Chains A and B, each alone.
Chain A
């Protein structure tokens, strides 16, 4: 749930999603759900020469399970806030 919240705060920011098949897609994060499925607008595929079939695609929905990494804009992430929230969530997990 914590990471889901983080992604929600990052909507309308530019992110780069790297998939498990090595495809890298840069675009504007439009929405995210609890499975960390991601909707991207105005996408641009890095290394278009290797993926010419993606050239016409302008926006897409990415299934969460095929994501390897998401590169986030550093300025949009408050690391101190993240660490505190993570500790708080870890505490709540222990209580259950």
Chain B
């Protein structure tokens, strides 16, 4: 590890490190997702983000429809500065470089 340059992706967490101060996409348990600017993280994937938009997917059951099907409704909410507990995090995706 000694002669490894500090830049570049060597281990999974490096991908998150290089996303600091960038807008990231975070998928959470409970059909929630966030986009926001990442400012801090730790080994538990606890995150601190700002300018966050949360999207919650809610499935509304429809009369007569089979179990597990229904209308999917997205509820959105904006939050200024947010701490996200790591145990709810499924994935963190860096900004798309296009």
Contact = CB atoms under 8 A, between A and B. Distances in A.
Summarize A's interface: helix, strand, loop or mixed: helix
B48 A3 contact: yes
Chain A interface bracket (under 10, 10 to 19, 20 to 34, 35 or more): 20 to 34
A69 B13 contact: no
A2 B43 CA distance: 10
Interface residues of B, number: 27
A39 B6 CA distance: 39
A2 B42 contact: yes
Interface in B39-65: 39-43, 46, 48, 50
B21 interface: yes
10 contacts: A3-B48, A6-B40, A6-B83, A68-B84, A71-B79, A72-B82, A77-B39, A82-B39, A90-B13, A91-B6
Interface of B: 1, 6, 11, 13-14, 17, 20-21, 30, 37, 39-43, 46, 48, 50, 79-85, 87-88
